[in-house]
Structures are given as structure tokens and as C-alpha cells.
Chains A and B, each alone.
Chain A
Amino acid sequence: MNATFFGKATAIAAAATMMMSMAACSGGSMDDSGSSAGAASGNTITLGSITTNSGTAAAYGEAELKGFKLAISEINAKGGLNGKKIKLESMDDKGDATEASNAFNKLAGDSNVLAVLGPTISSTTAAVAPLADQSKLPAIAPAATSDSIATGGYLFRTCFKDSYQGEIAAKFAAETLKVKKVAVLYGTGDPYSSGVGKAFAAAAKKNGLDVVDEENSSSADDTEYSSQLQKIQASGAEFLYAPYYYSVAGPYIIPQARALGYKGYVMGPDGYDGLKLTGDKSQYDKVLYTTHYSPDDTSNTKVQDFIKSYEKANNNQEPNTFTALAYDSVYMFKQAYDKAGKNPTREQVRNAIAGMSFSGVTGKFTLDKKGSPNKSVIVLELKDGKPTYRTTIQPSTK
């Protein structure tokens, strides 16, 4: 019985191995690049978009999609690109990497699609990156901030990288706030929290700051931080960098720190957008965060135009950061398209995007060799619990 079972098994395995030699045929390979060259033909230009419209990150994807649609309708209203109207082919990825790659492959197979906007979140963008390079279809991700995405080939992004925010925060602490002793607290289990936190710690040392304490929590959604905060308070830090999300930093970290008598600055990354507040609003004084965009930014004239245009199209709702980034992504494509010459191919569009200098709602920037922008960052400060514009930090010109 036993012998026959394994006998049959080996026979089948052997037969299958022989069949596998057929795998040498090219058809089974997943890497058939350049099957569709993709040039804009006819009177429309098709842009694909991959966003997360269902699942936990759906709010981000929906906001992005609104940004795409707004920018495209503006461009079309002004006569389109070279007289050609832009058509948007939008796809949902559920926040799932497999779905995102399916959607991307679908767009890549459509020779009318000239470029892709998206995906929304970092994990789906990481999955799409090799596909973009393989199928030579340029993609612009508006808000995928993770450092661990292979950008620079055919994939570019509009937002700054996670580590960049940490570096900017260190620069801000040293040069604007002029503090000496800083502490950092981050969640090791979360790529965003730990990525930004570690980048801050490294940059703080470079900026001549004294990192008096480095604490961490096991995840980024704990609710109890008293023991770590006690150590930070005891270390005499004047500035605490706590890269967490709005749902944790607002109701837990900041009130707990204040309850322990910590009176210094608390700073965070763009995860503080929409910070949840509890109790006395005065405890949120001296809370700052870096972000991509602020509606109160008066130094950038494009911001007010964008807000007006958005409110007109969306029943007076206010746009958010994701919408602004998505809006800029479309204009990045427009600028690249105009530069790439008449009826550009996908490759020409890609070459025009690489290294481009751009000025939009979310600031002025130049794309670096790795496809990420070296851009200005906005610092907001909470006053009476309301985020108010504090300053814009220009990128260091290196």
C-alpha cells in the first residue's frame, strides 16, 4: 500500500519534471516586454489610474481619484493636450498587491494607455514597480511614501519619502526651533513609524542634536506609552519626535506625555493629518507636524486656485492632502507630455518625467535620480487644536 502510493507519486513527479523541460518555450515566461509599444493615437490620450477604492484604505484612493478627475477636467476644459482630450481609465486594487498588478497588466496591455497614475498605498506600489519597468509603462504614484519601493525606472512619485520627512524634522528642530536635546519614540512593527523614526534619529545626530533617548513600542497602534514617555521625560528632552498615526498620537501619546509633565515640543510626520483630539485643547500646543500641503499656505498661489476649483466641482467640500498630491501627479504628466514632443511614446513620456522640475500645489521640486522628489515640506503647528501653517522648509540643495 505504502510502496505503491510513493511509487505512483515518484512516477508522476518524474513525468512532470520531463514535461517541465517544455517550459523553455517563451510563452510561459511572464516577462514579455514591449509587446505593446503604446503611442497616443486618435484624438484622445488615455491615462490609466490604479487606486484603492475598496477596503481599509479606500478613503485615500477615493480622494486621489477626485484629484485625478479634477485635474483632467481642467486640462480638457482648456482644450486638452495638443488638442487631444484626456480620458481616464480607472481601476480599483482593493489595497491588494495581486489585484494591483493585475490592474497594471491590464493597462499595460492596452496600447492606448500612455501612463498610469497610482497606485495608492505603498505595498501595492512596491508590487507594481517591477511591472512598470518590465512593460515600459510610466507610472506616477501620488502618495506612496515608503522607502522600500524601486522607483526611478518607470515609476516615479509625487510625495516625499518617509525617511525624507524624518530628515526634514531633524533639520527643523535644529535650525528653526534651536533645541539641543531630542528624543524619539516609534513603533518597531510598523514600516512607516519605524522608517521615519530611524531616519529622524540618524539625521538628528548629523545636525548636531543630542539624541538623549530612543524608545520604541512593539506596534504603532498601542494605546499605552507611559513607561516609554517616563524615560523620555527623565532624560530631559526638549523635543520629542513621535512618528505615529493620527488615531494614536492624538488621543494617547500626546495626552500621556503631558500628564507626565512633559512640556517640550512634540513633532510627527504626515500621519498626524486629522489628529484626533481629546480633553483640554491646550495640551496640544507645541505640537507640530510635517505634511505635503496646507490650505493656509499663502506662499504658494497655486494652493488657493486648487481649493477654489475643487470646491466648485465637489459641493464645497474641502480637498485633502491625497487629492492635492493626485492633482499634482496629473500636471506632472501634462508637463512631461508637453516636453516629450508630438505623439510621444510611453518611453518618451518616461524620459520626460525623469529628473523633471515641477511646481505645483504641493510645492516645488526636482525628481532625483531615484524618482523621488526633493521637495519643500510644510510644517503645521496646532493652535487651539487647529492645525495652522507655520513654515515651509525648502529642500537642501545638495
Chain B
Amino acid sequence: MKKSALSMKQSYIVCAVGIAVLFGLLMAICESGAANTYIKGILMTCCIAVIMTTSLNLTVGVLGQLTLGCCGFEMIGAYSAALLSKLIVAKGIAMDPTARFLLTIFVGAVIACIFGILVGIPALRLHGDYLAIITLGFGEIIRVVLQNIPAAGGVGLDKGQAGQALIGIDRIANLYVVFWITVVTVVLLFMFARSRYGRAVKAIRDDEIAASASGLNVTYLKVLVFAISAFFAGLAGGIYAQYMGSLTPAYAGWLQSTNYVIMVVFGGMGSLTGSILSAIVLTILPEALRAFSDYRMLAYSVVLVVFMIFRPQGIFGSWEFSLPKLINRIVYRNGRGGAAKAAIAAEGAGTAGTTAAAKSAEPAGKEA
């Protein structure tokens, strides 16, 4: 049993305060006018990337199944939300934009989730490369289907034109709302990964046969994870649609999906906080590198390659950043007697071990 400076309740409060401080910062830069549309646009893109990456990490990192179809689900959510939003406007239903935004992204997410279940049931009988190829194919199917639906092109609905980009979507995504959606998403995913279900899913990742022999319903759990992942991808899609104002079917292809897989691997498979960090870093990086102009993409690639050579398990590996843990460490470091110091040393070794294990690439997944 580990010694902890904070009770369960206190740790929740600490986390809540942490999030509130983050939101306070966000409000401060937005309300003071320090953030122009450019900065806000990047923050918005970061939020979308965080939702996509953390939800994908549930499948790739926690369940250990490589999928390349996350943008397919994202686009299902995006197109559903965009068309529903257009429909509400076309029907002349009076609705507060924020309410419309929340409703449409939720509906988009549910539709993406249904597709997640439909695809998941047959696809999850396969693993590894085979699953990757199936999901890759799925993304391409979505792309081609979208290209051929007249209602999903041009100005959409009955005036639509097949094969064109969908334009004229109301840009009603609000940064504050999106921030809270991101927070809720991450919290839910975190709770899921920490719950009994989450542990069962990790058991499947580590040894499917053993998990099955212990009485876990492997198929059910796999489809559950896949569906949750698809739900949040759809949610991100709805936000994306109503931030960008236009959608192209090409976005559903596997090329975009690999971007998010890169973010997951970069952050550390199985670490949700790692995913958050890498989503933010990799979204900001290309913008920050604009100063290099022509060498921008070269620099971006070099950063990725160098990083993967020296830290193949990603930024965090499977370690999770946690505010209560941090406070714990600070408190104990300030001296609370030798026994506590020893406990710290043990715990410290655990975390430092992740760094040391860089080369051995030992699955440090058996976290405390």
C-alpha cells in the first residue's frame, strides 16, 4: 500500500482545481484579446486533436489493436453533425447556437458509434496488421460513399451535388464549449481506462488467451472499446465540421488517420496524458516551425525521427501524469520521516524506471 498525502476526495478536488486553472488561463488570454483568431484557431485544433488522440489511444494503447480508420469515424460524425445543423437551419427551427452545436455533435457521435459497433463486430475477430488493413479499407469506403452522396456535397441537403466539398456549414464551434467537451472526454476516457472494464481491456492487450480463460468476454470488451473510440472520434468530427465550415471526403482516408496514430505513438501508447501532450505539441509544432519556411516539413520529420530513435516508447511511455501524485511527491520530498522517504525512493524508482527502460523497451505498463 502506497502512502499518500491526499485522500481520494482531495485528489479529485486537486484535479478539478487544475482544470479550473487551465480554463482560467484560457479565458484570460481570450478575454484580454491576447489571443487573436489565429491563436484561437490553433487552440481549437489542439482540442480536436486531443479528443481524437486520446480516444484512439483507447484502441491502440489500452486495447492494443492498431486501427487506421479513426478519420473515417471522425468524418461520419462530421458529416452527420454538419448536415443535421443545416437541416435545423433549413427547417427554420429556432435554437440557441450552442444548444444546436451540442445536439449536432452528440448525434454525430452516436451515429459514428453505431458504425463503430457494426464495423467492430466482424473486424475485431482479426488482430494486428489484418485489423489495420480492415480499418484502413473502412476509411476508404467512407470516403468513396461520401463522394457519391448528393446530399453531402456542395451546399448540401436537397441542393447538394455529389463529389463536391460540403460548404457553408455554420461555424458555431465555441472555444470554451469545445474546451469543456475535451475535458469531459478525457475524464470519461480516463475513468474508463481505470475502471474494472479498463483493467479487463488491458488484460486482453497483454494476453488475450489468458484473459479469455479467466472468464472475460473478449469480443464484447473489444467491441465496447471500439465503439467508445468511434463515439469520441465522431464527437471530434462534429466539432471539426462546425469549426472549419467545410468538409472534403478525402479527409476520411487513411492518410489523415496515420497523423493521429503518430500522435498516439509519440505520446506513448496507453498513456492518455501522453496523448494529450503529444496532440498539443504536434499540432503546434508545424505552426511554430513556420519560421523555417521551406524546411518546415523537413524539420518536423527530423523531430519525429530523432524522437523515435531516442525515446521509442513515446513521451510518457505508459506513465500517466497526475497532479495528486505530483503533490504527493513534493510533500514527501520536503521530509516526512525516513519511512516515507523510503516509500518515495521506491516510487521514484518506478517512474524513473520508465526513463531508464527506454532501451530495453520493457512494457512498463504494469503501473502502480
Contacts and interface: CB of A to CB of B under 8 A. Distances in A.
A98 interface: yes
Tell me the interface secondary structure of chain A in the complex.
Answer: helix
Given A9-B191, A30-B173, A188-B147, 17 more contacts: A1-B195, A5-B191, A16-B183, A23-B180, A28-B174, A28-B176, A30-B40, A54-B296, A92-B293, A92-B294, A94-B286, A102-B42, A102-B45, A127-B246, A130-B246, A147-B154, A148-B167
Interface of B: 23, 27, 30-31, 33, 36-38, 40-42, 44-45, 98, 144, 147-148, 153-155, 161-168, 171, 173-177, 179-181, 183-184, 187-188, 191-192, 195-196, 243-246, 248, 250-251, 286-287, 290, 293-294, 296-297
A104 B294 CA distance: 18
A327 to B, nearest CB: 21
Given A23-B177, A109-B37, A135-B37, A130 B171 contact: yes
Contact of B245 (A9, A102, A130, A135): A130
A1 B192 CA distance: 12
A25 B27 contact: yes
Contact of B180 (A19, A54, A97, A219): A19
Contacts of B154: 147-148
Contacts, number: 162
A109 B165 contact: no
Contacts of B23: 19
A9 B163 CA distance: 40
Given A23-B176, A31-B171, A127-B245, A148 B161 contact: yes
A99 B176 contact: no
A53 B294 contact: yes
Contacts of A54: 296-297
Contacts of B296: 54, 92
Interface string A9-41: 100110010011011111111111001100000
Tell me the interface secondary structure of chain B in the complex.
Answer: helix
14 contacts: A5-B195, A16-B183, A26-B31, A30-B171, A92-B296, A101-B41, A105-B38, A123-B246, A146-B165, A148-B153, A148-B164, A148-B165, A148-B167, A188-B162
A185 interface: no
A126 interface: yes
Nearest to B29: A27
Contacts of B27: 22, 25, 27
Contact of B293 (A90, A126, A194): A90
Contact of A150 (B147, B163, B168): B168
Contacts of A126: 165, 167, 246, 248
A149 B167 contact: yes
Given A5-B191, A195-B164, A123 B250 contact: yes
Given A23-B176, A129-B167, A190-B163, A98 B45 contact: yes
A144 to B, nearest CB: 10
B48 to A, nearest CB: 9
Contact of A97 (B98, B251, B294): B251
Interface residues of A, number: 59
Contact of A191 (B40, B144, B163, B244): B163
A187 B286 CA distance: 35
B362 to A, nearest CB: 31
Contacts of A32: 36-37
Contacts of A106: 38, 290
Nearest to A194: B163
B163 A195 contact: yes
Contacts of B184: 12-13, 16
A122 B243 CA distance: 18
Contacts of B245: 127, 129-131
Contact of B174 (A23, A123, A131, A135): A23
Contacts of B168: 130, 150
B163 A108 contact: no
Given A22-B176, A28-B177, A30-B243, A123 B38 contact: no
A192 to B, nearest CB: 8
A55 B180 CA distance: 34
Contact of A20 (B41, B98, B171): B98
Contact of A109 (B36, B163, B166): B36
A328 to B, nearest CB: 24
Contacts of B167: 126, 129, 148-150
Among A8, A23, A30, the most chain B Cβ lie within 10 Å of the Cβ of: A30
A352 interface: no
Nearest to A128: B246
Contact of B248 (A13, A16, A123): A123
Nearest to A147: B164
A102 B287 contact: yes
Contacts of A189: 144, 147-148, 163
Given A9-B191, A23-B176, A31-B171, A122 B38 contact: no
A191 B165 contact: yes
Contacts of A149: 165, 167
A154 B177 CA distance: 29
Contacts of B148: 188-189
A147 B164 CA distance: 8
